[in-house]
Amino acid sequence: MLLRHTNKEIKPRKALTVNPAKTCQPIGAMYASLGIHNCLPHSHGSQGCCAYHRSALTRHFREPVMAATSSFTEGSSVFGGQANLVQAINTIFTTYEPDIIAVHTTCLSETIGDDVNQIAIKAVKDGKVPEGKHVIHASTPSYVGSHVTGFSNMTKAMAMYFSKSTGTPNGKFNIIPGYVEPSDMAEIKRLVKGMGITPILFPDTSNVLNGPMTGKYNMYPDGGVTAEELTATGDSIGTIALGATASADAARALDTRWKVPCQVQDLPIGLGATDRFIDALRKAAGVSVPDSITGERGQLLDIITDMHQYFYGKKVALAGDPDHLIPLVEFLLSIDMMPVHIVTGTPGKNFEKRIREMTDHLPYPVNVKAGGDLFQLHQWIKNEPVDLLMANTYGKYMAKDDDIPFVRMGFPILDRVGHSYFPTVCYKGGIRLLEKILDALLDRLDRDAPEESFELVL
């Protein structure tokens, strides 16, 4: 394969990306929109854009992802897409009957300068939006940021459009989960409820993109945060944003607008980040940590203790989203693994700063790049081989060509199932994550073991 000919000599590249470690903003915005109950995402651009975004999400979740499009033609591209969007809003509400249309822009509509806010206001004035229905929107040009940025922009739009304050706290707690799997969102809710706290999780794709097969198609599944819950976020006693890149903007918007106290935490991946999340909930809500959650923590510690010799000193290369990689690197370091090459496709200086702060005490150099690509990661691996690669499905080509044990994580995962159903966040998710790492390392150990060392018991 071509990757076998990747050159070890690394040269600066400013205008060329090879094998990007990200995808585009509208995919993240569409995913966030699917986390609203009875909501139909709408792509304001060409049919091809919408088809790609739906396809990417459908292939990852293996669920039919529905979305509408403004279906730009050459005329729309020249004269603007206002007529298309107003007509689309009318058609969607009369034909598909959602409660909410969540409009995100694309490269084309951003480049020609469509004012989606003005178009939405016109649709309301023209009577195209029925009473009690809503149209929200986010600006998500594909040539800026990544899918994580698009998720953040749409989540902030939810908070800005719906939230209201009556002046009376409702005793609930806002949790913004970040760009994670439906299984992760369900696990976060379970843990928060287990502490006696009533969460408003937004967006929430659990039971939307990991629902059961019933034999009957439901265009709007039972899951998702409701419009009423989003409205109530302005009366919540606090907000925790999980992940600075994907969640912080929405939390800060609620703080600025309604004085809902907010704090930004790392995604609860691994032991330390989950401890901080639990402690933040405990302090903010004034509750105690139940024994059941302490027991889950102990189980994670037990696996780390039992299997530490197989983690120790193993070099790891990682590619993924910044909010995932920061706590994951911390977790790997805590079990004495050695992250040596770390790439995210999402631009942002804070990512590199955080990684360098965590790794500056190490006795070996760490390669880290925000706005990087998988070609650069592969060049690093060629120069310094690793024992494990953790990346999305596209990492499998590097793993195959360089014969590296491989753990799939992040978005997209196109060639395996389970990520929608088994969490990798919090203590239970940490156990799952260690299982996947151990399986990859021990399978390689068995594969390479000579006959006299092919042991039955570890």
What are the phi and psi torsion angles at 244 (to 5°)?
-65, -35
- Residue 447, classified by CB atoms within 10 Å of its CB into exposed (0-12), middle (13-18) or buried (19+), is exposed
Q: Is residue 31 part of a domain?
A: yes
Residue after which a domain boundary falls, among 246, 273, 290: 290
Residue after which a domain boundary falls, among 106, 138, 162: 162
Q: Pairing mode, if any, of strands 238-242 and 173-176?
A: parallel
Question: Within this chain, do residues 284 and 319 fall inside the same structural domain, yes or no?
Answer: no
- State the residue range of the domain holding 30: 25-162
Question: Within this chain, do residues 7 and 37 fall inside the same structural domain, yes or no?
Answer: no
Q: Is residue 191 part of a domain?
A: yes
Question: Within this chain, do residues 31 and 79 fall inside the same structural domain, yes or no?
Answer: yes
Question: Within this chain, do residues 57 and 73 fall inside the same structural domain, yes or no?
Answer: yes
State the average pLDDT for the chain.
96
Question: Within this chain, do residues 258 and 338 fall inside the same structural domain, yes or no?
Answer: no
What pLDDT does residue 78 have? 80
Question: Within this chain, do residues 375 and 428 fall inside the same structural domain, yes or no?
Answer: yes
pLDDT tens sequence across 263-300: 999 999 999 999 999 999 999 999 999 999 999 999 99
Mean pLDDT of 210-236: 95
Question: Within this chain, do residues 8 and 90 fall inside the same structural domain, yes or no?
Answer: no
Question: Within this chain, do residues 240 and 378 fall inside the same structural domain, yes or no?
Answer: no
Mean pLDDT of 53-60: 97
Show Cβ contacts of residue 448 under 8 Å, excluding neighbours closer than 6 positions.
Answer: none
Q: Are 368 and 352 within 8 A, CB to CB?
A: yes
We report the CATH number of the domain holding residue 97 as 3.40.50.1980
Q: How far is the C-alpha of 313 from the C-alpha of 340, rounded, in Å?
A: 11
What pLDDT does residue 458 have? 78
Q: Check whether 14 has a pLDDT greater than 90.
A: no
What pLDDT does residue 455 have? 87
pLDDT tens sequence across 107-126: 999 999 999 999 999 999 99
Q: Is residue 19 part of a domain?
A: no
Question: Within this chain, do residues 34 and 114 fall inside the same structural domain, yes or no?
Answer: yes
Q: How far is the C-alpha of 426 from the C-alpha of 443, rounded, in Å?
A: 25
Question: Within this chain, do residues 124 and 179 fall inside the same structural domain, yes or no?
Answer: no
What pLDDT does residue 2 have? 55
Mean pLDDT of 209-235: 95
Q: Is residue 307 part of a domain?
A: yes
Q: Are 345 and 373 within 8 A, CB to CB?
A: yes
Q: Check whether 1 has a pLDDT greater than 80.
A: no
Q: Is residue 267 part of a domain?
A: yes
Q: Is residue 299 part of a domain?
A: yes
Mean pLDDT of 407-431: 97
Q: What is the CA radius of gyration of the chain?
A: 23
Q: How far is the C-alpha of 283 from the C-alpha of 287, rounded, in Å?
A: 7
pLDDT tens sequence across 324-381: 999 999 999 999 999 999 999 999 989 999 999 999 999 999 999 999 999 999 999 9
Residue after which a domain boundary falls, among 242, 268, 290: 290
What pLDDT does residue 131 have? 95
What pLDDT does residue 245 have? 98
Number of Cβ atoms within 10 Å of the Cβ of 227: 21
Domain count along the chain? 3
Mean pLDDT of 401-427: 97
The two tokens of residue 225 are 């945060």
Question: Within this chain, do residues 349 and 239 fall inside the same structural domain, yes or no?
Answer: no
Show Cβ contacts of residue 432 under 8 Å, excluding neighbours closer than 6 positions.
Answer: 422, 423, 424
Name the DSSP class of 235. Answer: G
Mean pLDDT of 393-412: 97
The two tokens of residue 335 are 């079990």
Q: How far is the C-alpha of 435 from the C-alpha of 255, rounded, in Å?
A: 39
Q: How far is the C-alpha of 229 from the C-alpha of 140, rounded, in Å?
A: 25
Q: Is residue 168 part of a domain?
A: no
Q: Is residue 20 part of a domain?
A: no
Question: Within this chain, do residues 299 and 435 fall inside the same structural domain, yes or no?
Answer: yes
Q: Given pLDDT bands bounded at 50, 70 and 90, which one contains residue 5?
A: confident
Window from 106-110, 180-184, 242-246, 312-316 with minimum mean pLDDT: 106-110
